[in-house]
Structure 1
């Protein structure tokens, strides 16, 4: 009799590339041959080790989190012990954290042609870092300008735009004088978790969980 072949389907990809995330909540974490505690221990990681992940899959529930992360070493570690920003309630677009590198430098211009500490600058940073898309204020020709005109620029450049949010998409609204854009970090049912800068004129990082119809459009650059 041939041995059974067991496969695990990845549920969420990290922008189709490999990212490193820190181990936390335990001094030592086991990385197993399958996404459950019955799998053989293939490798161990220590707290604060950076672990490269390739995808996530569902598995044994560990303290309320049923996601398991597949590492670049080819084994599985419970997402409960990896600081990815995921909780098992939907797809994730990477860690939910303020990793914007220009804090404290507001009003100067970033590498993509936007003013630092504005919503457009933060989202341009995320598009470049998380999606690997070389986005800037003149992406594919036209001036994208303020957040209020990003939907127009998307239509002009034939970038996908619709009312369906996905992790890694840009949430866009025309409300207000200049509009607003945010990074879709996670989607759960009819709600979206967004990360943003300068919401309400704060010039600061912020996260919100809101109904998906809180935004006019979702722009998909990848």
Structure 2
């Protein structure tokens, strides 16, 4: 049934002067909220990237025997991001950090943890993980997950330590961000995998976890570096038998 049209007015209605919109007054608290919320809105969409459900393992190596090491290019070392966590790449980033007391607490906690001295160079250690409402890193994975840390290391080893990064979720594991999907991603790319550990490769575990192989030890064990082992969202190292790793994913071609 057709709608009945309303009669057309015979004269053009007078145009009224626009009423000025009320001017909102932003106080100091609203400015702080803006500073804290806006950075989280710029992250690009990606599939979830979670990490290990393994229980924490306290096996560490206070003194390591001589072993095979992965050598990073001099150019990459020269460009490594400052790991103190007390300075930013820009004044705006520093203002954002200082405006968030929670981030300040994370920086202080990280500095006192000794992770930096142990070898951690992950640049986003102060960001909130997904379990605390955090977003996605510039690499497209959730902050402080095992996958984001390993993706960072693959970029670092390729000499890519700043945007645009060589490896992100979109071209590293486009079929899915979870660690459980990384072996499939390597197979889809045609990248090599195997059971022999190699320094600089990815240790892939069947229990939805990945780690970075730092060293291959003479006794058939490997020293791995990782984030979020045991759901801690922190950096750690472990020495484990190479045979306990389901598959080694060798570094993708640069």
State the TM-score, normalizing by the size of structure 2. Answer: 0.49
Q: Which one is further off, 132-141 or 200-209? A: 132-141
Q: Bigger radius of gyration, 1 or 2? A: 2
Matches of 2:173 and 2:225, distance apart in 1: 27
C-alpha contact 1:162 1:218 (8 A) present in aligned 2: yes
Larger relative contact order (CA 8 Å, sep ≥ 6): 2
Number of residue pairs matched? 136
Question: How far is the alpha carbon of 1:101 from its aligned partner?
Answer: 1.1
State the TM-score, normalizing by the size of structure 1. Answer: 0.56
Q: Residues 49-88 of structure 1: CA distance to partner in whole angstroms, max 9, x if unpaired?
A: xxxxxxxxxxxxxxxxxxxxxxxxxxxxxxxxxxxxxxxx
C-alpha contact 1:96 1:195 (8 A) present in aligned 2: no
Question: How far is the alpha carbon of 1:17 from its aligned partner?
Answer: 4.3
C-alpha contact 1:163 1:216 (8 A) present in aligned 2: yes
Q: SS of 2:170's equivalent?
A: coil
C-alpha contact 1:131 1:168 (8 A) present in aligned 2: no
Structure 1 residue aligned with 2:151, among 113, 124, 128?
Answer: 124
The structure whose residues are more often strand, as a share, is 1
- Could you say which residue in structure 1 is the equivalent of 2:195? 163
Map 1:175-190 to 2 at 5 A. 175=207, 179-189=208-218, 190=220
- Could you say which residue in structure 1 is the equivalent of 2:183? 151
The verdict on how the C-alpha distance between 1:158 and 1:130 changes in structure 2, with shifts beyond 3 A counting, is same
Matches of 2:150 and 2:251, distance apart in 1: 12
The verdict on how the C-alpha distance between 1:156 and 1:97 changes in structure 2, with shifts beyond 3 A counting, is same
Q: SS of 1:15's equivalent?
A: coil
Structure 2: runs of 5 or more not aligned? 1-67, 79-116, 129-133, 161-165
Pair 1:205-2:232 in alignment: no
Matches of 2:120 and 2:192, distance apart in 1: 27
Pair 1:138-2:170 in alignment: yes
Q: Root-mean-square deviation (CA), in Å? A: 2.4
Structure 2 residue aligned with 1:102, among 110, 124, 137?
Answer: 124
Question: How far is the alpha carbon of 1:12 from its aligned partner?
Answer: 5.7
Matches of 1:168 and 1:135, distance apart in 2: 15
Matches of 1:215 and 1:169, distance apart in 2: 12
Matches of 1:162 and 1:116, distance apart in 2: 28
Structure 1 segments (4+ residues) deviating >4 Å: none
Matches of 2:70 and 2:212, distance apart in 1: 16
C-alpha contact 1:172 1:219 (8 A) present in aligned 2: yes
Q: SS of 1:194's equivalent?
A: strand
